[in-house]
């Protein structure tokens, strides 16, 4: 079955870059996502990348996809204390126009040190 793995913790200093890594197993994934979960809150989509892309940049966020190695990363430039949260990697799977099912990793807790 589908499996998404990511490291559980990451600690960086304010102003440095953060890189959160993720590996997945389903080679038929169509989209890969990064979601952010702040304490006590639901999930918020940060960015996503289509599986035929290698890179996507959105302001301070850069997503890199190595489809051959099934490796996805999220780089946050100039990390701020407000970036402290849990970041989930996810892949979409499922068939049919009406289905949209995500497989999530366990989440990486990013702690930003002032």
The footprint of other proteins (CB under 8 A) covers: 4, 31, 35, 40-45, 48, 88, 90, 92, 97-107
Choice between 61 and 102, CB closer to other proteins: 102
Neighbour tally for 88: CB within 10 Å: 23
Neighbour tally for 89: CB within 10 Å: 25
* Residues composing the chain: 114
- Name which of 71, 47, 72, 69 is nearest 57 in CA terms: 47
Contact 105, 43 (CB under 8 A): no
Q: How far is the CB of 8 from other proteins (least distance, A)?
A: 9
Q: How far is the CB of 31 from other proteins (least distance, A)?
A: 6
Choice between 12 and 102, CB closer to other proteins: 102
Choice between 23 and 48, CB closer to other proteins: 48
């Amino acid at each position: 079955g589908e499996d998404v793995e990511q490291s559980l913790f990451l600690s960086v200093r304010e102003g440095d870059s953060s890189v959160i890594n993720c590996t997945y197993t389903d080679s038929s994934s169509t989209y890969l996502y990064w979601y952010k979960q702040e304490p006590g809150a639901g999930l918020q989509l940060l960015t996503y990348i289509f599986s035929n892309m290698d890179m996507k940049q959105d302001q301070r966020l850069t997503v890199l996809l190595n489809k051959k190695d099934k490796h996805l990363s999220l780089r946050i430039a100039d990390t701020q204390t407000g970036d402290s949260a849990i970041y989930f990697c996810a892949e979409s799977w499922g068939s049919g126009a009406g289905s949209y099912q995500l497989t999530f990793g366990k989440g990486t807790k990013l702690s930003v040190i002032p």
